[in-house]
Amino acid sequence: MKKRLLNYMCCPDCKKDFKLFITKEAGGEVITGTLVCEHCRKKYPIVDGVAVVLNDKKLKDFAKTKKNWENWWKKVRQDDDAELYEKLWTEAEKNLGGEPLYKKEHFTGKVVLDAGCGTGRHIKSDFSKYNCKEIIGVDIGMQVFEAKKKNNAANTHFVQADLTNLPFKKEVFDVFTSHGVLHHTPNPKYTFTCLSRHLKVGGRAMIYVYHKEWAHHTSHKKSLFLDAMYANGVMVWQGIRKVSSRMPHPVIKGFAYTMAAKASLQQALEKKGITKPLASFVKLMPPFAYLGVNFHERLIRNYDHYSATFNYFQSIEEVVEWYKQAGFNDVEIVSVPVSIRGIKEKSKPVKDNKPLRIMQYPLIEHFEFRKEWEQLYKAHKRKKK
């Protein structure tokens, strides 16, 4: 931990400054030490250069979700392929003429919080190239240590903490980003509001959360029967998730393997004209399986969806409302739903009915996006051969 991170930090409970006690320092960083709140007498360790500010009592509610995420990163998603998927994902967005969520001009010279950074994928692929003043990555799981190893630069900092109980002062960040995280917290809107408190007035938030239309497949509207079958499948899937997310890792993994195999079968049948109706039958037969370009992707997506304790889906309107109620304006709805940017206009949101200034970019439909991405993956494989 770099000592200057203290300028942004405070005790998550009483909001008083921390006192830093150092046991080991190297390369201008505190490697081990303790952060002490002299007011409420709480102590938090610094381990391998990462400040670990977790509240044991609150953590009890989070223990299983934290563990599931740790297993996902460490035991399921370890393959290098995962990095490739993300690279091609950005390329697909560009090819379809989409407005990206992250743009360099919004980051240069800024103090950036990456809320739920995982292993720091966006810090590595995007933010580290944008000349940010500081980048602070936070995650509740042990993967934040991996994020530090992968992104240990002069302007990066990493903290293990819960997004609804952050050890940061009010209104200290110029930017916060959160990609694929808020829908995995018990109350996504509340988590968004908590993050907004740490953003300066005039600062920018940029988030991506799961889209409702994608989960409920309302966009295809091909037939009432198919829609009803799909809605039934979603209900079964949500029910199974409630049980599977509480299971130990080997059980979830076994289930994810089964679902990945179901997806493989469905995808194989879809290829041949004569077996297509059979593919639809496999697809609509619950429980639902997530597709992927190869078995590994099918496995990581199915593990992700069946292990996440919380998995909510939002409409664009709902997320715009989060921004409004947290005092934001100049909201930009960007191409891959639901990806939204906004500027914090007021410290304390005022309840009024004034419409927001909203900019809407052309949206990319989920299945159109997926098709483009699959083609890019195939082209990449052919080139490699």
Is residue 140 at the binding interface for ligand SAM, with CB under 6 A as the rule?
A: yes
C-alpha to C-alpha distance for 125 and 256, rounded to whole angstroms: 28
Query: Using CB under 6 A, which of 110, 121, 204, 253 touches ligand SAM?
Result: 121
**Binding of ligand SAM at residue 167 (CB under 6 A)?**
no
Choosing from 3, 24, 39, 371, the residue that interacts with Zn ion (CB under 5 A) is: 39
Taking only Cα atoms into account, the Rg of the chain, rounded to an integer number of angstroms, comes to 22
Is 69 near ligand SAM (CB under 6 A)? yes
Q: Which residue among 151, 185, 314, 335 contacts ligand SAM (CB under 6 A)? A: 185
338 sits near ligand SAM (criterion: CB under 6 A):
no
Angle at 186 between CA 75 and CA 125, to 5 degrees: 50
Q: Which does 162 bind (CB under 5 to 8 A by kind): ligand SAM, Zn ion, none?
A: ligand SAM
Q: Is 166 in the site for Zn ion (CB under 5 A)?
A: no
Which long-range contacts link 103-107 to residues 24+ away (Cβ below 8 Å)? 104/129, 104/130, 104/131, 106/175, 106/204, 106/206, 106/341, 107/131, 107/132, 107/175
User: How far apart are the C-alpha atoms of 135 and 114, rounded to whole Å?
Assistant: 7
Q: Which of 6, 25, 47, 180 binds ligand SAM (CB under 6 A)?
A: 180
Q: Which of 49, 102, 134, 143 binds ligand SAM (CB under 6 A)?
A: 143
Q: Residue 11: name its binding partner from Zn ion, ligand SAM, none (Cβ under 5 to 8 Å by kind).
A: Zn ion
CB 28 within 8 A of CB 2: yes
Instruction: Tokens 């505190």: give the residue.
Output: 30
**Which single residue brings its beta carbon nearest to ligand SAM?**
118
The residues near 112 (Cβ < 8 Å, ≥ 6 apart) are 127, 132, 133, 134, 135, 136, 173, 174, 175, 176, 177
Element counts in the chain: helices (H) and strands (E): 12, 12
- The residue among 39 and 43 lying less far from Zn ion, judged by its C-beta, is 39
Is 188 one of the binding residues for ligand SAM (CB under 6 A)? Answer: no
| Closest among 355, 320, 312, 362 to 340, alpha carbons compared | 320
List 3, 7, 14, 246, residue binding Zn ion (CB under 5 A) = 14
Q: Is 162 in the site for ligand SAM (CB under 6 A)?
A: yes
Residue 175 binds to ligand SAM (criterion: CB under 6 A): no
Out of 77, 110, 179, 204, name the contact with ligand SAM by CB under 6 A: 179
Q: Could you tell me where the DSSP H helices lie in the chain?
A: 56-71, 81-95, 121-125, 143-150, 188-197, 212-216, 224-244, 249-271, 276-284, 295-307, 316-325, 366-384
Residue 139 touching ligand SAM (CB under 6 A): yes
CA distance 181 to 136: 16
Is the bond preceding 338 in cis, omega lying within 30 degrees of 0?
yes
CB of 324 to ligand SAM, least distance (A): 23
Interface with ligand SAM (CB under 6 A), residue from 10, 50, 117, 316: 117
Rule CB under 6 A: say whether 340 interacts with ligand SAM: no
User: Using CA atoms, how far apart are residues 36 and 16, in angstroms rounded to an integer?
Assistant: 10
Minimal distance in Å, beta carbon 10 to Zn ion?
8
Of the two residues 123 and 229, which places its CB atom closer to ligand SAM in the complex? 123
Classified as helix, coil or strand, 157 is: strand
With CB under 6 A as the contact rule, the residue among 118, 327, 337, 342 that binds ligand SAM is 118
**Minimum distance, C-beta of residue 126 to ligand SAM, in the bound complex (Å):** 10
Residues that bind ligand SAM (CB under 6 A): 69, 116-118, 121-122, 139-141, 143, 162-163, 179-181, 184-185
What is the binding site for Zn ion (CB under 5 A)?
Answer: 11, 13-14, 37, 39-40
